[in-house]
Amino acid sequence: MRKTKKSKKIVTRRDFLKGAALGTLSIALYGKDRHLFAKTSGGAAAFGAENPQSTVVLIRNEKAIGAGDAINPAIVQEMIDAALKEFSGEQDAAKAWAKFIRSEDTVGVKFTRCGWMRVHTEQPVIDAIVKRVGEAGVARDRIIAQDGGMPFAKCTALINVPTVKVHTLTGIAVSLKNYINFAPEPSKYHAPSTNLGEIYLLPEVKGKTRLIIVDMLRPYFGPGPQINPLHRWNYHGIMIGTDPVAIDTVCLKICQVKRKLFKGEEWPITPPPEFISYADKNLKLGTSDPTKIKLVKLGWDKDVLI
Amino acid sequence: MSKSRRQENEISSSASIFASILPQEISGWKKSQQDQVYGRENIFDYIDGGGEIYLAYDFQFVFVREFAKGDAPMIVVEIYQMSSSEDAFGVFTQDTDGDDVKLGQGAIYAAGLLRFWQEKIFVRIMADKETPEAKSTVMKLGEMIAAATPQEGTRPGLISALPSEGLRPKSLRYFHTLISLNSHYFLASENIMALSPETQALLAQYEKENNRAKLLLVAYPSASQAEVACKQFAEIYLKANVQPEGKIQAKKLEDGRFSSITRKGRFLILILETEALPLCERLSQEISQKLEGQNS
């Protein structure tokens, strides 16, 4: 990395090739991961940490999406319950939800419904979450499922429910990007977006996120800015965790692998989502180091890509 | 009349032409809401978090009409008015994945989405889901717009400097600024190539004799600006010094590929990456020759 006269660091593509940029996140973008996928003598394996800093559960079900891309609500409910039981270590779905939501909470279910990009959180995913939050004892009028205009200040608990989109300005949009409309000036975080994770630390947001439930049923891996339907694929997945940095890192890797498969050659996500490593190194919101993440995979394994 | 008022009037006049080109109803799809028009000032009301890509070109406004038909997929027509045909072509090259179709001056269709450019417009027509009926209607709408835009625009003249042999189909990208370069190829976090609305840039991929190369060709307003950018790229990216004649030796990158930069007057020829050193040198030489006499 070089510095300009004003001492601003310039990160170049060569820094990624050397593995010197964005720390271990480089492996998700530039394939510098062979040594990490092979288990090292220290026991560190990418997304297979034995003593993890963060755990992420990915569940997939072939029947989650039917003809005409119709989402099966019952299967989605089953997937979320099963993933949450695994994540929480509980055998019973109600007990699993009770670990994260209290009956006295006011719960914001923050989904994404970007009108122009059209990669929305699927309604069955939102419905399944709202249903379980209600069953956890939260009155319906204290469950606020919304995208724009969410009154997050009055929420005592937030459930972050993003989709997965490769994004032309930020690189990728998953859990960190999903809170962008909580910021007083959202456009400030589009490009460059290094400090996107700051939104997680706003006084009215900080510490409220109890769960992240990612709708990975139909992610988007194309260049944008608007959607090209050719770049959307049925992945049939739901991902659950509490570490937004780890979740974004896993999703980045999956999208990167998908892009390479689609083109049949390297097609790095660009611009590099520097905000993920910044959220790790500077904001301490979680880990972007694949060797510190334990990815638990459940269900359908075909074309899981990770 | 103020400049902004005059622009508003021009937009309103052009938008009304688009409104008259498009039908109120087609194949059972009916106009479902009032037409929308967004200019440079309010593009983010329509594309919040993506409008920057259009603003990086000489985008004037976008006209939007939506069609609905019961449970059938919604169809959205977007006509982007640019102030030059070169930039209409440039926006079209932002994403070229899909099947070529014969429409306008270049068109691509993919899974319910039709994109084409003609004269100074770039058109996107998308059905929420692809069905045979929706595809047919999308194509009909495209044909209507193309037929009502009889004039042809010119592609960027800079393209003539590229050798045609070995140029990978659909790899060409035309743009001006860093935000566009970064959306296609990450070179650096800062604007080391000194790209600006006044620069013209082409990204292209070549495949020759089983070797591949990615190149960036930039035209600057002046030779002195090209010289500054050349020096920055050489020092910051290649970590090399520029010789007085503006050429440096190709450098081997960390992945074993080669990269080089050559200045030809107000033009810079960058081979961003290639496995083969001879291809690197040959492409630079061929483009240099084609650029002879284009320095004015």
Put simply, whether A225 touches B (Cβ < 8 Å) is yes
User: Does pLDDT of A202 surpass 50?
Assistant: yes
Residue of A nearest to B235 (CA): A2
Residue from B33, B36, B43, B48 whose CB has the most chain A CBs within 10 Å, to mutate: B48
SS3 of chain A: the string is CEECCCCCEECEHHHHHHCCCCHHHHHHHHCCCHHHHCCCCCCCCCCECCCCCEEEEEEECHHHECHHHCECHHHHHHHHHHHHHHHHCCCCHHHHHHCCCCCCCCEEEEECCCCCCCCCCCHHHHHHHHHHHHHCCCCHHHEEEECCCCCHHHCCEEEEECCCEEECCCEEECCCHHHHHHCCCHHHHCCCCCCHHHHHHCCCCCCCEEEEEEEECCCECCCCCCCCHHHECCCCEEEEECCHHHHHHHHHHHHHHHHHHHHCCCCCCCCCCHHHHHHHHCCCCCCCCHHHEEEEEEECCCCCCC
Distance of CA A160 to the CA centre of its chain: 9
Contact call for A229 and B126, based on CB within 8 A: yes
B254 → closest Cβ in A10, A17, A272: A17
Asked whether the whole model's pTM tops 0.90, one would answer yes
B52 → closest Cβ in A18, A190, A223: A190
Q: Which residues of chain B lie closer than 8 angstroms to A2, CB-CB?
A: 235-236
Contact call for B54 and A222, based on CB within 8 A: no
Buried b or exposed e, range A85-123, using 16+ CB within 10 angstroms = bbbbeeeebeebbbebbeeebbbbbbbbebebbbbbbbe
Higher pLDDT, A185 or B145: B145
A10 → closest Cβ in B51, B54, B190: B190
Predicted ipTM?
0.92
Q: Which residues of chain B lie closer than 8 angstroms to A114, CB-CB?
A: 48-49
User: Which residues 37-76 of A have a C-beta within 8 angstroms of B?
Assistant: 68-69
Q: How many CB atoms sit inside 10 A of residue A253's CB?
A: 22
pLDDT digits (tens, 9 = 90+) for A91-119: 999 999 999 999 999 999 999 998 777 89
Residue of B nearest to A30 (CA): B255
User: Does pLDDT of A42 surpass 60?
Assistant: no
- The confidence score (pLDDT) of residue A28 equals 62
Put simply, whether A149 touches B (Cβ < 8 Å) is no
Q: Which residues of B touch A (CB under 8 A)?
A: 44, 46-54, 94-95, 97-98, 110-113, 124, 126, 128-130, 179, 182-190, 192, 235-237, 253-255
With beta carbons less than 8 A apart as the criterion, state whether B136 and B27 touch: yes
- Which secondary-structure segment (H or E) carries A66? none
Distance from CA of A225 to the nearest CA of B (A): 5
- The confidence score (pLDDT) of residue B246 equals 61
Residue of B nearest to A166 (CA): B183
B130 → closest Cβ in A14, A168, A229: A229
Distance of CA A38 to the CA centre of its chain: 25
With beta carbons less than 8 A apart as the criterion, state whether B122 and B145 touch: no
Put simply, whether A259 touches B (Cβ < 8 Å) is no
Higher pLDDT, A28 or A16: A16
Q: What are the structure tokens assigned to A249, written together?
A: 């890192």
* Confidence label for A36 from pLDDT (cuts 50, 70 and 90): very low
Contact call for B129 and A190, based on CB within 8 A: no
- The confidence score (pLDDT) of residue A20 equals 64
CATH 3.40.1000 in chain B: give the residue spans. Answer: 3-147
User: Does pLDDT of A210 surpass 60?
Assistant: yes
The residue to which tokens 């969410």 are assigned: A150
Q: What is the mean pLDDT of residues A242-253?
A: 97
Q: What is the mean pLDDT of residues A4-25?
A: 72
- The confidence score (pLDDT) of residue B97 equals 96
Beta carbons within 8 Å of B30's beta carbon, 6+ residues apart: B24, B67, B68, B69
Contact call for A225 and B184, based on CB within 8 A: no
CA-to-CA distance for B201 and B217, rounded, in angstroms?
6
Q: Minimum mean pLDDT among A105-109, A148-152, A187-191, B264-268: which range?
A: A187-191
Q: How many CB atoms sit inside 10 A of residue B112's CB?
A: 21
Contact call for B124 and A268, based on CB within 8 A: no
CA-to-CA distance for B46 and B124, rounded, in angstroms?
14
pLDDT digits (tens, 9 = 90+) for A48-73: 898 899 999 999 999 999 998 999 99
Determine the residue type at B184. Answer: H
Q: What are the structure tokens assigned to A11, written together?
A: 């990160």
Span B3-147: which CATH code? 3.40.1000
The third-level CATH classification (topology) of the domain covering A52-299 is: Rossmann fold (3.40.50)
The residue to which tokens 């003809």 are assigned: A67
Per-residue pLDDT of chain B (296 residues; tens, 9 = 90+): 677 777 788 888 888 999 999 999 999 999 999 999 999 999 999 988 789 999 999 999 999 999 999 999 999 999 999 999 999 999 999 999 999 999 999 999 999 999 999 999 999 999 999 999 999 999 999 999 999 998 999 999 999 999 999 999 899 999 999 999 999 999 999 999 999 999 999 999 999 888 999 999 999 999 999 999 999 999 999 998 776 666 677 899 998 999 999 999 999 999 999 999 999 999 999 999 999 877 65
Q: What are the structure tokens assigned to B33, written together?
A: 């809401």
pLDDT digits (tens, 9 = 90+) for A159-184: 999 999 999 888 999 999 999 999 99
Distance from CA of B109 to the nearest CA of A (A): 10
Put simply, whether A272 touches B (Cβ < 8 Å) is yes
- The confidence score (pLDDT) of residue A19 equals 74
* Confidence label for A15 from pLDDT (cuts 50, 70 and 90): confident
The length of chain A, given as a count of residues: 306
Q: What is the mean pLDDT of residues A129-148?
A: 97
Q: What is the mean pLDDT of residues A133-141?
A: 97
- What secondary structure does DSSP assign to B135-199, as a single string? HHHHHHHHHHHHHT--------GGGGGS-STTBPTT--EEE-SHHHHHHH---BSS-TT---TT-
CA-to-CA distance for A236 and A217, rounded, in angstroms?
4
